[in-house]
Structure 1
């Protein structure tokens, strides 16, 4: 959650941190962009709240997909709860909420960030199981599988938050401004250098390379399965898959690359340029986390239909303008005949049902 300062010099007296390179330009840009944080916070509350309402009204929480979606929504809301504080921090270039809130907001920030990445990856992997291995996966994809998977995600995300929480604190420089950052000097009883190195590799492998590899692999397999099937709407499904992957790459990858390369910028001028890029790419990543639960639900025909039904229930006057299909029916046609093997018909039926979520 670095918002007001650039890189620090760690090579001097460990008891007295050195004032950072001037970041007034970066801070001014961040202060202007922080207006987006309030917009993302409000839109996330509305959008994610709508997802929860639809699942509560029309779906059962016992299904694997819905359990994962609810956890994704919760992680997104946890992350977004930190943005108003970060926005005020960026606008004032001064932390006014005290040490305890610095720890709490930092915990919400990292917990929401890490868990959102994992739940997006887990949701993609689960769709891969449901589409590519329809019948075998139906035996494995039960409530216990979903609960255990979610518990593991929250546990790993919580463990990943230990490092930044050990280093994060409030401190004041000679400019009398209070910072809520990772402390730039040494900390008693903690090997700060090893913690920062471990944080680099955790960010690189666990929260960048692994999720990207899993998401690419899963959607490639889903695409191959859909194209090889006889589902009439397969090309529309493939197009949606392409959009999901492309949006993930555009919004999330630049931010992580900039984060990982921040230690490579040693000069003051290079650090300032890095600060500008960091501000822009960070907002792109935050935007994706803001819309991801909504995007993962409302691109599917089933949730679109639920949304129309919700509108009609609350605004009956819209009934003549909005059409709602029966949930049990499907508009997907196939070219299969009744003479084909039962297992193949079952696989296709399961595939059609799972594509309602894609």
Structure 2
């Protein structure tokens, strides 16, 4: 899996040993012609369209996704820590989900540069750090989406029991456990990823003991099980129980809540299922069950598309889990009002220093600034 999620990590140019050996047909990194070798099957395969696609479109897409993911998740963290405060279990999970998504998209600026030049230029230490950050963010983001679904299940279906366990302390403990599992699951990436140089072609790739395909297959199935199968099972159970419970209610927010349930499940399936299918198919390729050139070409291109979808989901998480809530939107409006008020005061203060205001208006500005600072402190 490392090879495939490495494909996620670099947009297709990062992994140089998808199945066997891969080498450029030209010494120039701009010559986008690559040949994949399957030594046991005596098959060679030209995959020239994949790197060309990566260098042309992926830098733009990654740049847009980085900005969207950074702004959206940073806003969530800002609102939760400065205005709303972290007072409930749901807030704890929401804060950790935003941190996970930020960690997940942290690799994107490096991948933009990597996709353009097809060279790893950041050194061996950054190779391990970026690959580990990607996988830790990948696992932790999925884990916190799953635990938030279970938290909603407790609040709606098991409301009496939820009063005992849905506390901030339990939320912090659960979050620490999930981070520990995510780090443990990502340990192989920290160990095996390293910078290599082959024919003046520098890459950041995983190197397994004795080039054993067993490690690659194990890593793929680890992603399929921890990153999709278990979360999907939990989501289906929780939201099926929630929908059954909501059908018995007669409140005005019933259909709005049911609509949100469908959005959460459909979006998760839409953006995470493709990459897991491609990873599973790559496991079959590692075991040489898939061994023809044309299928391999389609599989590598599919990984490119699936990778972009997985990053889009991290940009959508703030909208799905935070901005749709009335209380959160109220705090968001309050935050922007305070920020706009602050900018207005700063503008008036500059005009005051330029002697463009009379004494009366400047006193008003000074007074309002003092009251604003007092309210913030």
d(CA) in 1 for partners of 2:85, 2:59: 37
Alignment of 1:1-358 (within 5 A): 1-2=6-7, 3-4=12-13, 5=16, 7-9=18-20, 21-31=45-55, 32-174=57-199, 176-183=200-207, 187=209, 192-263=212-283, 264=285, 265-315=290-340
* Residue pair 1:117, 1:207 contacting (<8 A) in 2 also: yes
Q: Deviations over 1:250-290 (max 9, x none)?
A: 11111111112114342233211111111011101111022
Q: Residue 52 and residue 274 in structure 1: after superposition, are their counterparts in 2 closer, same or farther (change >3 A)?
A: same
Give 1:193 deviation, angstroms: 3.8
d(CA) in 2 for partners of 1:282, 1:160: 19
Q: Secondary structure at the match of 1:94?
A: coil
* Residue pair 1:203, 1:260 contacting (<8 A) in 2 also: no
Give 1:298 deviation, angstroms: 0.9
* Residue pair 1:6, 1:271 contacting (<8 A) in 2 also: no
Give 1:60 deviation, angstroms: 2.8
d(CA) in 2 for partners of 1:62, 1:217: 27
* Residue pair 1:54, 1:307 contacting (<8 A) in 2 also: yes
Q: Residue 266 and residue 87 in structure 1: after superposition, are their counterparts in 2 closer, same or farther (change >3 A)?
A: farther
Q: Residue 166 and residue 57 in structure 1: after superposition, are their counterparts in 2 closer, same or farther (change >3 A)?
A: closer
* Residue pair 2:195, 2:204 contacting (<8 A) in 1 also: yes
Q: Secondary structure at the match of 1:179?
A: strand
Q: Indicate the structure with greater helix content.
A: 2
Larger radius of gyration, structure 1 or 2? Answer: 2
Q: Deviations over 1:174-215 (max 9, x none)?
A: 3x21111223xx536xx8344223213312222111001111
User: What is the TM-score when the length of structure 2 is the normalising length?
Assistant: 0.76
Q: After the TM superposition, which segments of 4 or more aligned residues of structure 1 sit over 6 Å from their partners?
A: none
* Residue pair 1:61, 1:67 contacting (<8 A) in 2 also: yes
Give 1:164 deviation, angstroms: 2.4
| Aligned-pair Cα RMSD in Å | 2.1
d(CA) in 1 for partners of 2:341, 2:245: 40
d(CA) in 1 for partners of 2:341, 2:204: 50
User: What is the TM-score when the length of structure 1 is the normalising length?
Assistant: 0.80
Q: Which moved more, 1:285-294 or 1:77-86?
A: 285-294
Q: Deviations over 1:80-139 (max 9, x none)?
A: 111111121122111111111111111111111111111111111111111111122111
Number of residue equivalences? 305
Q: Which runs of 5+ in 2 are unaligned?
A: 1-5, 22-34, 38-44, 343-377
